[in-house]
Amino acid sequence: MKIKHLAGLSALLPLAACSQKAPQQQPNIIFFLVDDFGWVDSSVQYGDELYPNNLRFNTPNMQRLSERSTVFGNAYACAVSTPTRTSIMTGMNAAHTRITNWTSAVRDTPSDATGGGFWMAEHSGSGDALAGDVLSRPDWNINGISPVPGVPHTQYANSLVQYLKDAGYFTIHVGKAHWASAGTPGVNAYNHGFCVNIAGTMAGMPRDYSGLKNYGNTKERWNDFAVQNLTEYYGTETHLTEALTKEALKTLDYPIKHGQPFYLYLASYATHTPIQPDERFAQKYRDAGMDEGQAAYASLVEGVDVSLGEVLDFLDEKGIADNTVIIFMTDNGGNSENIQKGGIPHTQNKPLREGKGSNYEGGIRVPLMIYYPGKTKAWKCDVPVICEDMFPTILDIAGIRGWKAVQDVDGQSILPLVIGGREGPSPERPLVFHYPHKWKPYDLEDIDFLSAVRVGEWKLVYRIIDGALAVSAGSEEERAAARERALELYNLSADIGEENNLASEYPEKTAELARVLSERLRAWDAVMPVVVATGKPAPLPDEI
Amino acid sequence: MKIKHLAGLSALLPLAACSQKAPQQQPNIIFFLVDDFGWVDSSVQYGDELYPNNLRFNTPNMQRLSERSTVFGNAYACAVSTPTRTSIMTGMNAAHTRITNWTSAVRDTPSDATGGGFWMAEHSGSGDALAGDVLSRPDWNINGISPVPGVPHTQYANSLVQYLKDAGYFTIHVGKAHWASAGTPGVNAYNHGFCVNIAGTMAGMPRDYSGLKNYGNTKERWNDFAVQNLTEYYGTETHLTEALTKEALKTLDYPIKHGQPFYLYLASYATHTPIQPDERFAQKYRDAGMDEGQAAYASLVEGVDVSLGEVLDFLDEKGIADNTVIIFMTDNGGNSENIQKGGIPHTQNKPLREGKGSNYEGGIRVPLMIYYPGKTKAWKCDVPVICEDMFPTILDIAGIRGWKAVQDVDGQSILPLVIGGREGPSPERPLVFHYPHKWKPYDLEDIDFLSAVRVGEWKLVYRIIDGALAVSAGSEEERAAARERALELYNLSADIGEENNLASEYPEKTAELARVLSERLRAWDAVMPVVVATGKPAPLPDEI
C-alpha cells in the first residue's frame, strides 16, 4: 500500500475495460452518507442501550436496514465534514492528508474562524486571528484533495472512485461533495472517477432545502451554496432530500439495464444547517412538544429516512437488492452548537459529550451500518472503526485486489467484521483525531484545537491550547497548570460521556497514549497551529 | 411513425439492455450543435461561392471536418433556439410541437416580447401586448417539451435520446439544453434519456463566458442563466467553451473503456449573446480592423472551432475516429439584430436576408455537415433538409429500426443523402417555418410574426400582421393593400437574398405555396397570434 509517486492509475489498473462483459459478479455498492447526523438521532441503537434522544426520531427505514446489517457501535468520523469525506476518498487519516478542517467554497481561503464575522455570512473569514491569543491557524491543505499533483494546498491522491470505475463500476455522485474548493481539480467529481455527478460542488451546505426557493438559486438568496442540477424542481414543494433521491434513482437506470455494477455515493445535504423544517413531516414533532428547531431537525432526519426507504424499495423493485451492498454512515457527529437546532446547546448528542467540531465523542462517534446481502452477519460490532477504513473496505467489497496508490493508505478493510469473521482490525488499533482549528468566531472550549486518540477502551484528549501554554506561558506555575490541563484520559467502556478525566489517576496510560498520538502525528507530518508567543508550531503531546 | 398514446417506451423497446455485450457495432455519434452561429460565419463554404463574410473567420477545424463531410448547402433550423432544439429531440416541426418561441427560464411565463422592458434584463416580460396594436401572442407551448404527459403548455413526446439509451448508447448532454422551463420535467436531461448531464438547464444563454466571473455564479452577476457544473474553473481564465469541451471529453472515458457506443450532444453556449471577447483569440481580429463587437464575435467563433478540433483530435488519439459520426449544426441563423455583435445590424448574414428570429433565410438557413466515417460521400448536398430530420437521421445512423413514438414524427432521415445515394428526402419536399411571435420590445418588421414555406427553389413568406390586417383593417382599401403585402414569393435559386418579391408575377405559385403552408399549419393545429380587432386567431395564408 506504499508505492508513491506513480504517474497515474491507468498503467497500474488495466483491469475491467472490455473485460466487463460477463454476467455481473461484483456487487453494487450504495454509500448513503448523511450529514451532521448524530449517533443518537434515530431509533437505531448504536450504543449499549437506547438513550432518551433515540426516542425522539421516527426512522423506520434505518431500523429496517439495521435489522439486517452489521451495526457498528464504535464507528468514527472526523469532527467536521471535509476531513471525513476526503478520508473516505483517499483512505488516509485527516491528520495525514493535512485536510483537517472544512474547505471553503473559494480557493485559497482558510475556513479557520477568526474573531470577526460569522462564517455563514458569506464566505468564511480568513486570517490568522486566534482563540485566546494563544494559537493561530496551521498551514493545512485548505484547498482539499486533488486528483492531480502540484495543486497548492491540496493532498494529491488516487481516489477510491477511480479504482471502482477502472474495475468496471458505473460510478455516481449525488448530493454533497465538499472535498475541495472551487477553482481546483479536486472540486470536480468527474476528475475523481465519477461517471455522473449531480449536485456535488464546493458547497458544504445547501443554500436552501426548499424547491420553492429553488434550493437557493434566486437572486435574493444566491450564494456559493445554492444547489446545482435540480432545475426540474424549481418552484415546487420538492424538498432537497427528495429531489436528490429521485435524481439518484434515475441515474441507476443505465447500469441496471446493462448489468454493470454501480457505485452510488448518495450524500444528502441533510441534516446540515440551515435547519429548515421539512413540512412533509415537521408538524407531528411540533405536536409532540418539540420546539421549532427540534421539530425542524427531526423532520430533516425523517426526510433522510424516507430517502433511504425509497432507495431500499427501488432495489427490491428492480430485483437487485440481493446484489447491492448498503453502507450507511454520517460524516461527523450531530451539531450540538447551532441554536437553529433548538433544545439545549451542547446536549443533543447525550450521552456523548459535545458534538460536531469536537473530538469528544459527540463530534466523532457516528452511525455506521453495512449490509452485504448473503454475507453480512447481522450483529452489533463494537470494534472501533474509522472513516478512512471505507476506502479499503469498499475496494474489498468490490473484489479489487492488488491496488496501488500514490498515497499511503491508513485505513483497514472492515469487511471481515461485516461478514462476522474473527479477522479484521484489532480492537486495540489506535484511532487518531486531529482538529487544530478554531471553529467559530467565538471560543468553544470543548471544540477548538483538540486532538485525540482512542486505543481500545481508552481515549486521550489533547487540548492544544493548553499544550501551547505549557511551553509558552509566562510563569512556571502557569506552564505547570497548563501541562496539567493539556491531557485528559477517559475510559470509554465505563464513561462514554467522557466526564471523568483519569489522567492523574493513570499517568502511565496517559503518557502511553500521548506517545502513540504524537508518533502518529509526527509520522504524518501533521499540521499544528502556531503558538503566537513563540511563532513555532504547538508542541505534540509528548513534547510538553 | 404514427402510433399515438402509448404508455411509454420501455415496453416497446426492450432492445439493448443486456444484449450490449458483443463488440461495439453501433457507431458513436457526436452532435456538435452551435448556438446563433450563422451560415457565413466560418471559412466553410455552404453556399455556391465564398462570400465576403466567410473571409472574416478563422475556422480551420470546421474546414478540416468539411473536407471529409457531406456539407449541406440548404439546411434549415427554426428562427430561434428552443424550437430547433425541441424539434431535434422530437422529430416534429416546431409548428407541430407548438413550441414556436424560446422557453423562459421560469415556468408558465411566455417569452413573447411586449412593448415594455428588454427581455435580457431579468426574466422576459409576459403579457398580451402587441406589434402595431394588431396581434397579441398565441397560446403556444410556453413550457417546452415534456417526457411525460399532462404537463400544462408542453408537447409530450418520446425523446430521440431515450431511444438511443434504450438501444445501448451511453448518452451525454453537455452545454445548453433549453428545451423547457425550470420546474417542469422537460428541463431535466435525465428525464429525456441522458445518462449524464453537464450544464444543461432552462438557460438559453450563459450569464457569463468567463471563468473569472464563475460563468455568472457570483452574487453580483447571478441570474437563472448562470452556468452550472463548472466549479473546477471558477476564478480561472478558462473560457466557457473550453470548459464544456474538457468536461465533455471526460465523460467519454466510461463508454470508450467499456466499448459501448456513445451519443454526445455537445451544445456550446457560444456564440449566443453576451458577445464577450474570448481573449485567447480576440486581439488578432481587432488587429485586422474589426470593431470590438465583430472581434468579440469572431473570437467566440474561433473558440467553437478550437473546441471542435479538440474533439476531433481526441477521437484520433483514442482510436475511435473511424467509428464516430460527427454532426455539426447550428440552432438558428446568426444574430443580425444585436448591437453587441458590432458591424452594421441586419447585414451580418449577407448574402442572406436578416438573421436570428426571422423566417427569411438569414434566420433559418444554417451550417450543417455530417461525417460518417467510411460511409460519407464527401460532397456538397443542396437538397433542402431541416432540423426535425435529425431525429430519424440519428436513429437511422444508430441502426435503430421499427421505433414507435407517441408523437407523429415529421422529419425524414437524411442518411441516404450522407452516404451519397439517390434516395432520401425529395428536393421538392415542403419545409415549414412558423414564428407567430413578437421577438423584441420594439417592432422588427422582417422578424416578428412571419411564417414561411420552401418548396424546391421557391419560398413563400407570410407576413401574419398583414394577413390580420387583410381581414380586420377598417377600410376595403387598407384590407386590399394588406392582402397585397401579406404574401411574398422568392426564387431562392436566382435570388438567395430574397430581394425580389415575385408574388404578383407568379400568383399561381404564390397561391399554391400558400395552400401548402396553410394545409400544414392546419393539420398541425398550429398556434396563431390573436387579431386584436376581432379576438380571433390570425388567418392562415389561404384564408386572406
> Residues B470-519: pLDDT tens digits?
999 999 999 999 999 999 999 999 999 999 999 999 999 999 999 999 99
Is A223 in Cβ contact with B259 (below 8 Å)? no
The confidence band for A23, taking pLDDT boundaries of 50, 70 and 90, is low
Cross-strand partners of A70: A370
Q: How many domains does chain B have?
A: 2
CB distance B157 to B407 below 8 Å: yes
What residue type is B478 in one-letter code? Answer: E
CB contact under 8 A, B197 and A229: yes
Residue B8 pLDDT greater than 80, yes or no:
no
Residue ending a domain, among B391, B426, B461, is B426
Whether B192 and B232 share a structural domain: yes
- Tell whether B506 and B420 lie within a shared domain: no
Give domain status of residue B134, yes or no: no
Residue B117 lies in a domain: no
Q: How confident is the model at residue A115 (pLDDT cuts 50, 70, 90)?
A: low
What b/e sequence results for B442-472 when a residue is b if at least 16 CB atoms lie within 10 Å of its CB, and e otherwise?
ebbebbbbbbbbbbeebbbbbbbbbbbbbbb
Chain B nearest-CA residue for A189: B232
Half-sphere exposure at residue A162, Cβ-oriented, CA atoms within 13 angstroms? 27
Q: What's the pLDDT tens digit per position in A187-197?
A: 999 999 999 99
Of the candidates B159, B132, B164, B161, the residue with the CA atom closest to the CA atom of residue B147: B159
Dist CA A270 CA A204 (whole Å): 11
- What's the CATH number where A277 sits? 3.40.720.10
- Residues 6 or more apart in contact with residue B14 via CB below 8 angstroms: none
Q: Are residues B477 and B396 part of one domain?
A: no
At residue A81, the pLDDT reads 98
Contact of A198 with A251, CB cutoff 8 Å: yes
Residue A136 included in any domain: no
Amino acid at A402: G
State the pLDDT at residue B25. Answer: 83
B190 in contact with A, Cβ within 8 Å: yes
pLDDT in tens, A136-149: 999 999 999 999 99
Under the banding of pLDDT at 50, 70 and 90, the label for residue A22 is low
B49 lies in some domain: yes
Residue B118 pLDDT exceeds 60: no
Residue A48 inside a domain? The answer is: yes
Its domain, for residue B531, covers 433-543
Query: Which chain B residues are within 8 Å of A247, Cβ to Cβ?
Result: 190
Whether B234 has its CB under 8 Å from any CB of chain A: the answer is yes
- C-alpha cell, B458: 421557391
Alpha carbon distances (Å) from A382 to A328, A368, A421: 16, 11, 13
Do residues A479 and A466 lie in contact, with contact meaning Cβ atoms separated by under 8 Å? no
DSSP secondary structure string for all residues of A329-367: EESSPPP-S-GGG-S-TT-TTTTS-S-TT-SSHHHHB--
What's the pLDDT score for residue B131? 58
Distance CA B422, CA B326 (A): 22
Closest C-alpha among A280, A299, A197 to residue A244: A197
* Arithmetic mean of pLDDT, B149-166: 98
Beta strand ranges found along B202-253 (DSSP E): none
The pLDDT tens digits for B272-286 are: 999 999 999 999 999
Among A426, A442, A458, the domain boundary falls at: A426
B320 and B203 within one domain:
yes
Q: Are residues A387 and A495 both part of a single domain?
A: no
Question: Is some CB atom of chain A closer than 8 A to the CB atom of B109?
Answer: no
B148 assigned to some structural domain: yes
Residue A155 lies in a domain: yes
Whether residue A1 is predicted with pLDDT greater than 60 in this model: the reply is no
Q: Which of B182, B191, B196 sits opposite A235 (nearest CB)?
A: B182
**Which residues 117-156 of A are in CB contact (within 8 Å) with B?**
122
Mean pLDDT of chain A: 92
Question: What is the SS3 string spanning A314-335?
Answer: HHHHHCCHHHEEEEEEECCCCC
Nearest to B331 by CA among B175, B214, B486: B175
Residues B314 and B364 in one domain: yes
pLDDT band at B122 (very low <50, low <70, confident <90, very high): very low
pLDDT at B423: 84
| Mutation choice for B interface testing from A254, A263, A317 by most B CBs within 10 A | A254
Of B462, B400, B393, B475, which Cα lies nearest the Cα of B434? B462
* Interval B200-215 mean pLDDT: 98
- Per the CB < 8 A criterion, the answer to whether B81 and B99 are in contact is no
Task: Classify B108 in phi/psi space as left (phi over 0), alpha (psi -120 to 50) or beta.
Answer: left
Query: What does the CA dihedral B514, B516, B520, B521 come to, rounded to 10 degrees?
Result: 0
Say if CB B251 and CB A10 are below 8 A apart: no
Give B250→chain A minimum CA distance, Å.
7
* Confidence band for A323, pLDDT divided at 50, 70 and 90: very high
The answer to which of A12-21, B228-237, B308-317 has the lowest mean pLDDT is A12-21
Task: Please indicate, yes or no, whether residues A258 and A338 belong to a single structural domain of this protein.
Answer: yes
Burial B98-110 (b: 16+ CB within 10 A, else e): bbbbbbbbbbebb
- Confidence at residue B115, expressed as pLDDT on a 0 to 100 scale: 52
Question: Which position has the higher pLDDT, A69 or A25?
Answer: A69
pLDDT value at A118 more than 70: no
Residue at which a domain ends, from B426, B456, B480? B426
Q: Which of A21, A229, A259 sits opposite B229 (nearest CB)?
A: A229
Among B359, B355, B267, smallest CA distance to B34 is for B267
Closest alpha carbon to A239 in A213, A266, A220, A203: A213
pLDDT for the residue B7: 39
Mind spelling out the 3-state secondary structure of B70-132? EEECCEECCCCHHHHHHHHHHCCCHHHHCCCCCCCCECCCCCCCCCCCCCCCCCCCCCCCCEC
